[in-house]
Amino acid sequence: MILVTPLSAVVDCIRAYRPSHLVTLLSPEHMIDTPSGIRPEHHLRLSLNDISDPTLGEAPPGLKHIAQLIAFGREWDASQPLLVHCWAGVSRSMAATFALLCDRAGPGTEQDIAQEMRGRASHASPNRLLVRLADQTLGREGRMVRAVEAMGPGRMVEEGFPVEFPLTITEP
CATH number of the domain enclosing 16: 3.90.190.10
Residue 76 domain-assigned? yes
Residue 87 domain-assigned? yes
- Count Cβ atoms within 10 A of the Cβ of residue 108 and give its class: 0-12 exposed, 13-18 middle, 19 or more buried: exposed
**DSSP string across 75-129:** H--SSS-EEEEESSSSSHHHHHHHHHHHHHH-TT-HHHHHHHHHHH-TT----HH
Tens digit of pLDDT per residue, the chain (172 long)? 999 999 999 999 999 999 999 999 999 999 999 999 999 999 999 999 999 888 777 899 999 999 999 999 999 999 999 999 999 999 999 999 999 999 999 999 999 999 999 999 999 999 999 999 999 999 999 999 999 999 999 999 999 999 999 998 654 4
Residue 166 domain-assigned? no
Domain of residue 125: give its range. Answer: 2-159
Number of domains in the chain: 1
Residue 136 domain-assigned? yes
Residue 168 domain-assigned? no
Residue 169 domain-assigned? no
